[in-house]
Amino acid sequence: MPRTGKRSCSNQLKDLQPGERGERSYAEIGAQFGLSEGAVKSAMHRLRLRHRDILRHEVARTTGSSEDVDEEIRHLIQVLA
């Protein structure tokens, strides 16, 4: 898939993130980009992993140890819930 196609697909996947109210299903997004529903689910999984890694990296920049990172993330989740 061309890079612009990947970016556009990523924009569609944002609607599938927890807390979002997207109106499209994995199958509908897949059909738009010529992908199977499974391929879209895999892309969504990779997107979530990437977001997790970015969050951990940013929190780690402000804390002193890996235990502090986990504690800060738990606190953040609690505050946002």
Confidence (pLDDT) at 9: 66
pLDDT tens digit sequence for 9-58 = 666 676 666 655 567 788 888 898 899 999 988 988 988 899 899 999 99
Residue with tokens 């897949």: 30
28-41: string of b/e by CB count within 10 Å (b at 16+)? ebbeeeebeeebbb
Global pTM? 0.66
Residue 78 has pLDDT above 60, yes or no: yes
Confidence (pLDDT) at 72: 92
Which of the two residues, 9 and 78, has the higher pLDDT score? 78
DSSP sequence for 10-71: HHHHGGGSTT---S--HHHHHHHHT--HHHHHHHHHHHHHHHHHHHHHHHHTTSSSHHHHHH
